[in-house]
């Protein structure tokens, strides 16, 4: 009798390594390191109500935001895991003021990759038991191998990413990632501590019925965005659409990719260019979206074509199903 045994994340990485254009094995080790750190963070997230890990840590990060205790824990675990494995030459985290240069114990190390990471996206939701996540982005360095990394290695446009993904810590824990050859999702079996391929070749539906935006800021939005929201609410054809906004980018994005929808964090008279960081959130999510039949824009510009100018740069962000983002673009063009 045959069984439909699911492929593990480790098996998937090995099997698909040759399809990656830089097939040296380093990227596979890097994804494995992220998998390990995600399991450690997942364990802590799932016992957040039982130990002294919820609430604020009494510090603010470079963004001026209150750090949650789990923010600090997740940041430390991902940096520690990536550093100890001696796979990367540099790390930039949303929680750190500047990038971290990794000095390998091997003087002749040839580490070629830098990682940019949002260790715990949506962490303000931890106290109320709402899904949170981790977002990561991977680039090949542009400065000479064997030398310390510089800011130039991190300020690369998103179209230079070699891999990106996210972990969602929810009713089940999943890793979703791409290396430029489609998007695949892996669900953790907590009894075995193993991730199994559960969502192969993930795709945004061409259209959907969900729009995700913080409507509390409606009066401060650009007129084109206001008009699109009114369009979503209008009773006509397959509308009105359903408003669903969790306040955790990973969770909102994940739902919309599966069910079809659009996520919006526009610039406004209150937040300026919005709240989301180009390097830690928008670029990796845009790469995943485009690999999954979706679109990601910052208004007039494709997110992946934006040239970063600073490590913690914020940009407007719209992404989701092609037809929904396309309709939004029609409204935005009216006011350009």
Residues at the binding site for Mg(2+) are: 94, 118, 120-121, 281
Closest among 310, 248, 281 to 68, alpha carbons compared: 248
CB atoms within 10 A of CB 52: 7
Helices (H), 49-200: 69-84
Q: Say if residue 5 is exposed, middle or buried (CB neighbours under 10 Å; 0-12, 13-18, 19+).
A: exposed
Please state the residue numbers annotated as binding site for substrate.
121-124, 214, 245, 275
Closest among 40, 36, 16, 43 to 28, alpha carbons compared: 16
Closest among 288, 270, 283, 269 to 312, alpha carbons compared: 283
Distance CA 289, CA 262 (A): 11
Length of the chain: 336
Beta-carbon contacts of 82 under 8 Å, excluding residues fewer than 6 positions away, are 30, 33, 34, 37, 88, 91, 102, 115
Distances (CA, A) of 80 to 70, 76, 124, 290: 15, 6, 23, 31
CB atoms within 10 A of CB 165: 26
Please state the residue numbers annotated as binding site.
94, 118, 120-124, 214, 245, 275, 281
């Amino acid at each position: 009798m045959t069984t439909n045994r699911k492929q593990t994340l480790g098996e998937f990485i090995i099997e698909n390594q040759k399809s990656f254009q830089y097939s040296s094995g380093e990227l596979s080790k890097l994804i494995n390191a992220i998998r390990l750190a995600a399991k450690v963070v997942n364990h802590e997230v799932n016992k957040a109500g039982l130990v002294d890990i919820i609430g604020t840590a009494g510090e603010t990060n470079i963004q001026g935001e209150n750090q949650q205790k789990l923010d600090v824990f997740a940041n430390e675990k991902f940096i520690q895991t990536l550093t100890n494995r001696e796979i990367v030459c540099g790390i930039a985290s949303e929680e750190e003021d500047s990038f971290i240069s990794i000095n390998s114990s091997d003087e002749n190390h040839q580490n070629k990759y830098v990682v940019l990471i949002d260790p715990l996206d949506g962490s303000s939701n931890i106290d109320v038991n709402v899904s949170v996540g981790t977002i990561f982005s991977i680039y090949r360095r542009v400065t000479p191998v064997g030398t310390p990394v510089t800011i130039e290695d991190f300020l690369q446009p998103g179209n230079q990413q070699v891999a990106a993904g996210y972990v969602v810590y929810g009713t089940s824990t999943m890793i979703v990632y791409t290396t430029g050859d489609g998007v695949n999702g892996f669900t953790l079996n907590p009894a075995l501590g193993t991730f199994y391929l559960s969502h192969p070749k993930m795709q945004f539906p061409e259209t959907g019925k969900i729009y995700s935006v913080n409507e509390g800021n409606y009066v401060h939005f650009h007129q084109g965005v206001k008009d699109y929201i009114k369009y979503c609410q209008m009773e006509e054809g397959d509308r009105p659409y359903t408003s669903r906004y969790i306040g955790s980018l990973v969770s909102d994005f994940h739902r919309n990719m599966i069910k079809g929808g659009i996520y919006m964090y526009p610039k406004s008279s209150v937040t300026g260019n919005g709240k989301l960081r180009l390097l830690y959130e928008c670029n990796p999510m845009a790469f995943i979206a485009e690999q999954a039949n979706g679109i990601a824009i910052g208004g007039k510009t494709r997110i992946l074509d934006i040239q970063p100018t600073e490590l913690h740069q914020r940009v407007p962000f719209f992404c989701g199903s092609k037809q929904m983002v396309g309709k939004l673009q029609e409204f935005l063009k009216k006011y350009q």
